Chain A
């Protein structure tokens, strides 16, 4: 599916715009730990802290792409560790369907990612963002879902 969209790839100086939805209890705390540990990662991903990955409406993903995001990251607690018992199980199911939908629309797989990062995994958080930014950079700007203004 990766080649569905033919866009200008590897534009020099292209800095992707990424929205990162972080669960308050794990990934947001994990990103705090990355900060306290002074780990360095690219500044492209702007965090939005939500209460639980289970509160992640598919509309948020579509809205972000519609507003011009080049990539969307959702990060929640490891399955089984949800602060709210089972919110991340709902998230996992929903995210899978959103992935299918995005594929159907013709968006590259690498533009949308879900990760599991606990409050103790600062290093993992930095790694996840680093890798995601690299992958999105390769794809160039996202135009498939971006509203024409």
Chain B
């Protein structure tokens, strides 16, 4: 226990002093055992306040300090810095008593608030008197990064990191990078061709020497901690050697199995051996194991027979790759809300009810119709097209409560593109309201209404059904207050965005949180938007929340810069307030080993007693609460310290 404690009580102008008798707090604390200095001051955090504190520590040779002021989240660092730099005392000898947020601001009666402030401060004194001097633990870092997800977010983050000189491992579960952006026809509000702007970046990914690309691969296991993660990745066998494949298409020509092509949202067929699209990166054919007749030359083997480059090998096996990285960027993107949830709109039932991505493919020059908007059912040009916004979004009762953010804009784009393809056609849009915040966005929507004469109807659609080959859309126009019935040739749903299918598993593997809608949770909604709650794991793109391409690129670059900042140092500092075992009391019962959420405790030594890994331990104290013999404690908040604080709180 320390014997020379100093107490500093802050008035915070009138913020504290109005409800707490600060002079009385300072006076009574001066009488507490071990306290040799006690003072109140108008603003402790001001420059003069800080020097008063620094001088008092030195002049009185204080060995522990309590500052009674605002919440530790605000000024704990300030006062610990003063303690260390000005007072030349170990910063962990300083504790904060929160008498503002937890006392002065929430009570009105001065005597009661003062009583409570006395208890809070006394508790902090009791705690600090048993604090130890601690030194942050330095941990060397691995200067490599893993990016999970090869959509535009992952591509941008990987390129930024690689160009900063860091080694990057880019993991993508599909046969090619590009994500959903490569499926788009044009992008709003400039209408530039999506493929034309993304494919150069994809090529850059494949050419950059600092990027190791693992496609058809998924993260299986992660261990370690910030600066030193060990990630186990499982890569599927693709049965084609990318080095040898000449992309000649001979194999696909002879392949007898035909399955829907996912890249074209099942609007076109592909073979079991295929390349998703001509610009795919890595540029190689790949064999879809689930569609192939059996990887058995006796059964089929046609592709291997015709391959002149000898690139096909049925004996390839899945690989498990272990990568050591210092940081991880998660950019697992989005999927559209399941069409099975929207039966009332006939999605999945009628061939001419499409989702937004399918419509993109119809508009795309590389799409199933060669860039002509044609109905999938009979390949006729649709003359009336109804676009339904908020299909699954903003519907807390039956679907997703949140706004998917990009649908207002892409529906305006779809309607505009449709008019460019079918100038004599009519586009209708059902909307709840138009959300077009963004540079040039509002003008774009206005243009679609005025120049392209898209008819916007404010209201929801109740039902879509088929009648004599066309779709009848029944809805309401709340502005005229009338029910509307439109005979449409095609219906396009702006389906809600959801976190991509594997996001839940990735989050679980990486031990990062998700929000109530399943999107990855950021560490702070305002101030730490690209960090996850787990140190060293960063977020980018639509896996964190619905967002458009510019925002996704921003976030990806932001995540990359955070990683660069993190890995620019040779060593990372880890909090030293971690668990410590009292070996004389430990019986090696393993209760703490099982309870530790980080796997930081193991049995070691000749008597098999608990031992804490200083780097893995986060200091949560779960171990101390399960130890039957009180043999393990978190430094500077030990059980004895808590008992002392309880006494102080109860005035014992």
Which A residues are within 8 Å of any B CB, using their own CB?
17, 19, 28-29, 31-36, 38-43, 46-52, 54-60, 63-64, 67-69, 81-87, 90-91, 94, 126
Contacts and interface: CB of A to CB of B under 8 A. Distances in A.
Please indicate which of the listed interface residues B100, B511, B626, B650 has the most CB atoms of chain A within 10 Å of its own CB.
B650
Interface string B141-158: 000000000000000000
A55 B634 contact: yes
Please indicate which of the listed interface residues B72, B102, B620, B642 has the most CB atoms of chain A within 10 Å of its own CB.
B620
Interface string B103-120: 111111100110110011
A68 B652 contact: yes
Contacts of A32: 71, 73, 98, 101-102
B554 interface: no
Nearest to A29: B73
Please indicate which of the listed interface residues A41, A43, A56 has the most CB atoms of chain B within 10 Å of its own CB.
A43
17 contacts: A17-B649, A17-B651, A32-B71, A35-B105, A38-B106, A43-B106, A43-B116, A47-B120, A50-B637, A51-B634, A52-B621, A54-B595, A55-B625, A60-B646, A67-B646, A67-B647, A68-B650
Contacts of B123: 46, 48
Contacts of A85: 511, 597-598
A84 B597 contact: yes
B639 A52 contact: no
B83 interface: no
A64 B650 contact: yes
B399 interface: no
A19 B100 contact: no
B24 interface: no
Given A32-B71, A46-B120, A56-B625, A19 B650 contact: yes
Given A41-B106, A48-B649, A54 B622 contact: yes
B620 A54 contact: yes
Nearest to A86: B597
Contacts of A91: 625
Interface string B89-102: 00000000010111
The 10 closest A-B pairs by CB, nearest first: A55-B621, A35-B101, A84-B620, A35-B105, A54-B622, A46-B649, A32-B101, A85-B597, A52-B620, A43-B112
A31 B103 CA distance: 10
A55 B108 CA distance: 33
Nearest to A18: B649
B625 A51 contact: no
Nearest to A129: B106
Contacts of B639: 57, 59-60
Nearest to B620: A84
A38 B105 contact: yes
Contacts of A17: 649-651
A149 to B, nearest CB: 9
Interface in B611-652: 618-622, 624-626, 634, 637, 639, 642-643, 645-647, 649-652
A87 B345 CA distance: 45
A39 B540 CA distance: 36
Contacts of A56: 625
A57 B624 contact: yes
A84 B622 contact: yes
Nearest to A60: B642
A35 B620 contact: no
A40 B645 contact: no
B621 A35 contact: no
A136 B358 CA distance: 62
B109 A55 contact: no
Contacts of A19: 646, 649-650
Contacts of A34: 101, 106
B622 A90 contact: yes
B403 interface: no
A31 B104 CA distance: 12
A36 B74 CA distance: 12
Contacts of A60: 639, 642-643, 646
B533 interface: yes
B518 interface: no
Contact of A63 (B533, B618, B646): B646
A122 to B, nearest CB: 10
A130 to B, nearest CB: 10
A64 B625 CA distance: 16
A120 to B, nearest CB: 9
B513 interface: yes
A28 B637 CA distance: 16
Contacts of B597: 54, 82, 84-87
A91 B105 CA distance: 29
Nearest to A146: B650
Contacts of A36: 101, 105
A67 B101 CA distance: 26
Given A19-B650, A31-B101, A50 B71 contact: no
A43 B113 contact: yes
Interface string B510-553: 01010000000000000000000100000000000000000000
Interface string B486-529: 00000000000000000000000001010000000000000000
A33 B618 CA distance: 25
Contacts of A46: 116, 119-120, 123, 649-650
Nearest to A149: B652
Contacts of A126: 106
Interface in B460-484: none
A91 B597 CA distance: 13
A51 B102 contact: no
Please indicate which of the listed interface residues A29, A58, A60 has the most CB atoms of chain B within 10 Å of its own CB.
A60
Contact of B106 (A39, A50, A63): A39
Contact of B625 (A38, A47, A48, A94): A94
Given A47-B102, A54-B625, A64 B620 contact: no
B618 A84 contact: yes
Contacts of A83: 533, 620
Nearest to B104: A35
Given A35-B100, A43-B112, A48 B645 contact: yes
A133 B104 CA distance: 18
Contacts of B72: 49
Nearest to B534: A85
Please indicate which of the listed interface residues A36, A46, A56, A64 has the most CB atoms of chain B within 10 Å of its own CB.
A46
Contacts of B624: 55, 57
